[in-house]
Structure 1
Amino acid sequence: MAVSSKLLIEGEREVLTVRTHVKALLVPFVVLILIAGAAGFTSAVTSGTVRLVVIVVAVLILLWWVLLPFLRWLTTTYTITNKRLIEQTGLLTRSGRIIPLSRINDVAYEKHLSDRILGCGTLIVHDASEQEGMKIVDVPQVEDVHRQLTTLVFSAHHPDSESDERI
């Protein structure tokens, strides 16, 4: 469960929680391999101050280009409940955006060729507010998420109709 129970309102239950697709970590992974290899080789063939400088620079690059993107990925979640769509991000300072399902006007998705190969896509949610719609990039299994969210939005707009209890 990604959303703390103290953030849920009465009668609300979590339906789905996702992070962006793991493909978001591809560049940090490549940087990790390249910097570790280059720093290891360079520190093996040098000594003294040069070795220390190489190690310090490598650690700084790894912190900035590997650890920070990983922490951003790890701490950003998108949760769909039976009443709201909740975006949460941040490690030290948590921030987020909440859209009640009853205010959502449109739910769409996009899949580029690479997204189709990797099984992800972009979910676009427009709501009845002056804010720009929520665009969630690299959602795993975006068609399933789109279908579940659309069903919940329909149920929120038409509470008298039968809802799909499998969700």
Structure 2
Amino acid sequence: MGYPENVLARDEHVVLHRHPHWGRLVPAALILIIATAAASLLAGYVNTLAWEPTAKNVVFLVIAAVWFVLIGWLAIWPFLSWWTTHFVITDRRVMFRHGLLTRSGIDIPLARINSVEFTHGLIDRMFRKGTLIIESASQDPLEFTDIPQVERVHSLLYHEVFDTLGSEESPS
């Protein structure tokens, strides 16, 4: 899914658009699988009991309600949060937007960026993700975690910054 064009200025082009690393969704997927298995086993057990049909239906509704609440809160909400988090590099700025019900974000013009760093430990390297640190002229460094292929993003951003500045230090 590309980043919405309506937030871009005239003649501004997206160079890179990323959501956080997919690894952020693994706990939500595990919760979905475990909760569904547990609800199925419990419903199957209740079905084998010699209860009245009305009592069984009430228990089934309670199981379904608990399942929906757990899945909504611990699986669907993290997915929607992931889906609505955007790290975007354009030919003019770096944008970070996040939030589902209330959105927030930050824009950093490329000309204001002083340095770009990245960090990633052994596990991060195995999953090809990391933290991107951007230091701008007017703010404390900003850290963006769980950036997929952080080394590539770092290199791309570095080149965009120096291409924008037209600096003599610009890499060839």
Q: What is the TM-score with the length of structure 2 in the denominator? A: 0.85
Choose which of 101, 104, 111 in structure 1 pairs with 2:120: 111
* Gap regions ≥5 residues in structure 2: 47-55
CA distance in 2, matches of 1:73, 1:83: 25
Identity of aligned residues (%): 36
Greater radius of gyration (CA): 2
Q: Which residue of 1 aligns with 2:26?
A: 26
CA RMSD of the aligned region, Å? 2.0
| CA shift for structure 1 position 30 | 0.7
Structure 1 stretches lacking a partner, 5+ long: none
Q: Which secondary structure state, in structure 2, belongs to the residue aligned with residue 3 of structure 1?
A: coil
Contact between 1:19 and 1:77, CA under 8 Å: does it hold in 2? yes
CA contact (8 A) 2:159 2:170 kept: no
Q: Which moved more, 1:1-10 or 1:96-105?
A: 1-10
2:13·2:91 contact (CA, 8 Å) conserved in 1? yes
SS in structure 1 at match of 2:146: strand
In structure 1, the residue matched to 2:16 is: 16
| Deviation of the 1:161 alpha carbon | 7.1
Which of 119, 141, 159 is matched with 1:151 structurally? Answer: 159
Alpha-carbon distance, 1:4 to partner: 2.7
1:99-133 deviation line (CA, Å, top 9, x unaligned): 10111111111111111111111111111224x43
Which is further off, 119-128 or 29-38?
Answer: 119-128
8 Å Cα contact 1:155-1:161 kept in structure 2: no
Letter in 1 for 2:77: L
Task: State the distance in 1 between where 2:29 and 2:66 align.
Answer: 17
Equivalent runs, 1:1-167 vs 2, <5 Å = 2-46=2-46, 47-130=56-139, 132-158=140-166
CA positional deviation for 1:7: 2.1
